[in-house]
Every structure is written in structure tokens, then in C-alpha cells.
């Protein structure tokens, strides 16, 4: 069993056994048939992944890590807020007629800010600090810009990340306001594990821990039987992450520069109902 599987199973069992149900409350989300989409949730879930030991991807079912990486590069490397720059349809329902998701995600990362050392956007500031002042306790990226929330088609879910170097290891704390555990949990974990690997590689560091803090970790009512079946499945060993050694610049990474060697997983869950 991979450590990612172990963490996921434990989290899901805790939510199902000890979580708080929204039944009887007024909820925003609805199913396609108009029925309220209720959840059972846990507040303040914290999961830790040692990236030096293994790449944290589920083997209970396959995670489409190539699509996850593409979305990560869309936000962090291309700094785009337009679905025309994305190679999947996961953001289509949040885009306007021009393909824009508003002033969200990549839009926030490309805004330049003034510092004593010059002008940087948030991504370039991380790279500068990791190379020039790696033991700073101020290496933070934040996409939850209150001034622009009214122009975002969706408020950021994974909204901030704090980087911290211990010795020669790069660690990160990912903060997420809300998460659909079945649909998005390992997608986000895989993405931000890749991001830590990317920054570590181009800044001459090794990877350390990824700490994932979820304020509202929830399982939708119609997902409960799917989760129960999923966490009862057979698991496999974690795959090995292979990164193209020739890439030296953060902005040169491509999806195909990341390969999971020996990735084995159970069958995919199909036709997952999605709350809107």
C-alpha cells in the first residue's frame, strides 16, 4: 500500500464515521436534477506526504496525472485564466463566452509586485527567494485576492502555498478552503507534489514534505457508496517519479517531462455525479 492510499483511506473513514452532515441545512450546491447536494464533512483536515520517500498518487484508482500536471502548468507556468490555453475541459463550465474564468488562479500569479529587489510576479518571486534567500520564512503565494473576488467565476479552492526550506529540503504547506474528496483530493495532492519537485529541481534543492491543509473536506451524499467501495479495494506500491534531467528552467517543463514508472492502479470510477 502506498502512503497516499493509507492517508486517503484513513481520511475517508474519519469523514464517514465522525463527519458532520449538512442534511437539514440550506446548501448552495445542487445535483443536475435540482436536488440539494448535501455533504458529510470534517473541518481542518491535515495530511502530510514525504515526497522524498514516494510520489503521493493513489493506486486505489488511477489519477490522470498528465491532465493534472497540464492544469498545474496552465496556472503556475503559463499563468493563464483562459481555457483555450488548457488541454482539457475541466474548467469549461466556469468559463465565459471568451474562454475566461475571470481574475482567478493564473491571472493572480502573473500580476507583478514591487519589492526592494525589483518587480516580480508571485511565481518568479518564489524562484528568486529559493535561489537567493532559501531560509526566508516569507515565501508565500496567495491567489485569494479579495479585491478581485467579484470578478472570479470561481473563488480559488487551493488558494495559497507556503514554501519552507529545512537544510537542503524544500517543504510546502498547501491551504485549501474546500475540497470534494472523491473528485479532487488526489488530483490536488499530485499536482502540488509535482510543483514542489519542479521548484526544488530548478533551485538546487531536494524535496521534503508536502502538508495539505483542507478547511472543509467533504464527501457528497451521492458519492458515499462510491467512496465506500473505493476504500475497500486492493492497493499497490507507489510508482517512481522520473523527471527529465535536462530541464533546468521552471518555464521549460512540459507534461511529458514527468513519468511515473511502475504506476499500477485499480479500475477507474466512471459516471461520478458532479454537484454544481
Catalytic residues, which ones?
157
220 is in an annotated binding site: yes
275 is in an annotated binding site: yes
Report the C-alpha gap between 189 and 197 in whole angstroms: 12
180 is in an annotated binding site: yes
Which of 243, 162, 239, 255 is CA-nearest to residue 197? 243
State the sign of the Cα–Cα–Cα–Cα dihedral 188, 194, 198, 199.
Answer: positive
186 is in an annotated binding site: no
177 is in an annotated binding site: yes
**Which residues are CB-contacts of 266 (< 8 A; sequence separation ≥ 6)?**
59, 60, 61, 62, 233, 234, 235
Q: Is 268 helix (H, G, I), strand (E, B) or coil?
A: coil
Residue 48 exposed, middle or buried by CB count within 10 Å (0-12, 13-18, 19+): middle
233 is in an annotated binding site: no
Grid coordinates given for 270: 466512471
Tell me the C-alpha to C-alpha distance, in Å, between residue 39 and each of 85, 104, 181, 236: 33, 26, 11, 29
Grid coordinates given for 127: 524562484
Which of 98, 63, 89 is CA-nearest to residue 230? 63
Grid coordinates given for 31: 445535483
Which of 52, 59, 83 is CA-nearest to residue 70? 83
219 is in an annotated binding site: yes
251 is in an annotated binding site: no
**Which residues are CB-contacts of 34 (< 8 A; sequence separation ≥ 6)?**
none
Q: Which parts are annotated binding residues for dUMP?
A: 137-138, 177-180, 188, 218-220
Q: Which parts are annotated binding residues?
A: 64, 137-138, 177-180, 188, 218-220, 275
Amino acid at each position: 500500500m502506498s502512503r497516499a492510499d493509507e492517508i486517503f483511506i484513513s481520511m475517508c473513514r474519519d469523514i464517514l464515521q465522525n463527519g458532520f452532515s449538512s442534511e437539514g441545512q440550506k446548501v448552495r450546491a445542487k445535483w443536475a436534477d435540482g436536488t440539494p447536494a448535501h455533504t458529510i464533512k470534517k473541518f481542518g483536515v491535515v495530511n502530510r506526504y514525504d515526497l522524498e520517500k514516494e510520489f503521493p498518487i493513489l493506486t486505489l484508482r488511477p489519477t490522470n496525472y498528465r491532465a493534472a500536471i497540464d492544469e498545474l502548468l496552465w496556472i503556475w507556468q503559463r499563468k493563464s485564466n483562459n481555457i483555450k490555453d488548457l488541454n482539457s475541459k475541466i474548467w469549461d463550465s466556469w468559463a465565459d463566452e471568451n474562454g475566461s474564468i475571470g481574475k482567478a488562479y493564473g491571472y493572480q500569479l502573473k500580476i507583478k509586485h514591487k519589492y526592494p529587489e525589483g518587480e516580480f510576479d508571485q511565481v518568479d518571486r518564489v524562484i528568486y527567494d529559493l535561489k537567493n534567500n532559501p531560509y526566508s520564512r516569507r515565501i508565500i503565494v496567495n491567489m485569494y485576492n479579495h479585491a478581485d473576488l467579484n470578478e472570479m467565476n470561481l473563488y480559488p479552492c487551493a488558494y495559497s502555498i507556503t514554501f519552507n526550506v529545512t537544510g537542503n529540503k524544500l517543504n510546502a504547506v498547501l491551504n485549501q478552503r474546500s475540497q470534494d474528496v472523491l473528485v479532487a483530493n488526489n488530483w490536488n495532492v499530485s499536482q502540488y507534489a509535482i510543483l514542489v519537485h519542479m521548484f526544488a529541481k530548478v533551485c538546487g534543492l531536494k524535496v521534503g514534505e508536502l502538508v495539505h491543509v483542507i478547511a472543509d473536506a467533504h464527501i457528497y451524499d451521492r458519492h458515499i457508496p462510491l467512496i465506500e467501495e473505493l476504500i475497500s479495494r486492493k492497493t499497490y506500491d507507489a510508482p517512481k517519479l522520473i523527471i527529465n534531467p535536462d530541464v533546468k528552467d521552471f518555464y521549460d517543463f512540459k507534461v511529458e517531462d514527468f513519468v511515473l514508472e511502475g504506476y499500477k492502479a485499480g479500475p477507474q470510477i466512471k459516471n461520478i455525479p458532479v454537484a454544481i
